[in-house]
C-alpha cells in the first residue's frame, strides 16, 4: 500500500456533484475578493457611524437652539408686558404727575387756510388723587422721583417763578376756569 490514504469512491449522484466542485486549492484567487468584501463592509460601517454622529450632533444643536428660542420668546413676552404696563393711561398719568406735568387746557386748532379755530386755555393743575398705600405725606409735596420736596418750596423767594404744579400764578391769583371741561378732569379733551 501506498503512504497516501485514498479518497473514498463516490457513487451515483454524489459522484456527479463531486465532479462539479473544483479540485485543488484555489485560495489564492479567493483572497482579493474576500479582502474587497471586508473592505467594503468596513467602509460602509464607518460611513454609517460618521453619518449617525453627524445627525446626533445636529439634533443636539437643534435642541439647544429650541431652548434658546424659548428663552428669548419668554424674555420678549416679559418685555412686552413691561411696555404695555408703562403705556397704560393710568401709568402715563402717574408718571406725568411725578414729572410735574399738568393736564392741558382747551386746545385751539389751525385750519388749512391758517385761521385759528377755538380759543386756547391755560393748563391748570388738578389736585392729584390720593395714593392708596402711600405715606401720610401728600404726593404734591413730593419732588420728582418720589423724594420729598424741601420745606422752603425749593425756590428762592424773590425769583417770582411759579411751580409747574401750582394752580396759582406768581401773583397769587387763581387761573379762571373756562367752562365745565376745565374744571372736570374726567371729561374728554376735544380733538383726541
Predicted pLDDT of residue 139: 47
Mean pLDDT of the chain: 73
**Which residues have a Cβ under 8 Å from the Cβ of 97 and sit 6 or more positions away?**
128, 139
Q: Give the DSSP H/E element, type plus range, for residue 109.
A: strand 109-110
Encode pLDDT of 1-13 as tens digits: 455 556 667 778 7
Long-range contacts of 169-175 (CB under 8 A, 24+ apart): 175/122, 175/124
Contact 163, 171 (CB under 8 A): no
Q: Residue 16's pLDDT is what?
A: 78
Give the tens place of pLDDT for each residue, 81-111.
999 999 999 999 999 989 989 888 888 899 9
**What does the alpha-carbon distance between residue 95 and residue 92 come to, in Å, rounded to a whole number?**
5
Residues of the chain with pLDDT under 50: 1, 137-185, 187, 191-192
* Residue among 91, 104, 103, 98 nearest 141 (CA): 98
Can you give the pLDDT at residue 11?
A: 76
Amino acid at each position: 500500500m501506498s503512504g497516501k490514504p485514498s479518497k473514498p469512491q463516490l457513487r451515483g449522484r454524489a459522484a456527479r456533484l463531486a465532479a462539479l466542485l473544483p479540485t485543488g486549492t484555489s485560495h489564492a484567487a479567493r483572497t482579493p475578493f474576500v479582502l474587497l468584501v471586508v473592505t467594503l463592509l468596513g467602509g460602509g460601517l464607518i460611513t454609517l457611524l460618521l453619518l449617525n454622529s453627524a445627525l446626533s450632533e445636529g439634533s443636539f444643536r437643534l435642541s439647544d437652539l429650541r431652548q434658546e428660542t424659548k428663552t428669548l420668546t419668554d424674555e420678549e413676552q416679559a418685555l412686552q408686558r413691561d411696555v404695555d404696563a408703562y403705556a397704560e393711561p393710568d401709568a402715563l398719568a402717574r408718571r406725568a404727575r411725578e414729572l410735574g406735568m399738568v393736564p392741558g387746557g382747551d386746545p385751539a386748532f389751525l385750519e388749512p387756510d391758517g385761521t385759528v379755530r377755538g380759543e386756547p386755555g391755560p393748563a391748570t393743575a388738578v389736585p392729584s388723587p390720593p395714593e392708596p398705600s402711600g405715606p401720610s405725606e401728600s404726593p404734591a409735596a413730593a419732588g420728582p422721583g418720589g423724594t420729598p420736596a424741601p420745606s422752603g418750596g425749593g425756590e428762592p423767594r424773590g425769583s417770582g417763578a411759579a411751580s409747574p404744579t401750582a394752580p396759582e400764578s406768581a401773583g397769587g391769583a387763581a387761573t379762571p376756569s373756562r367752562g365745565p371741561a376745565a374744571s372736570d378732569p374726567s371729561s374728554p379733551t376735544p380733538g383726541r
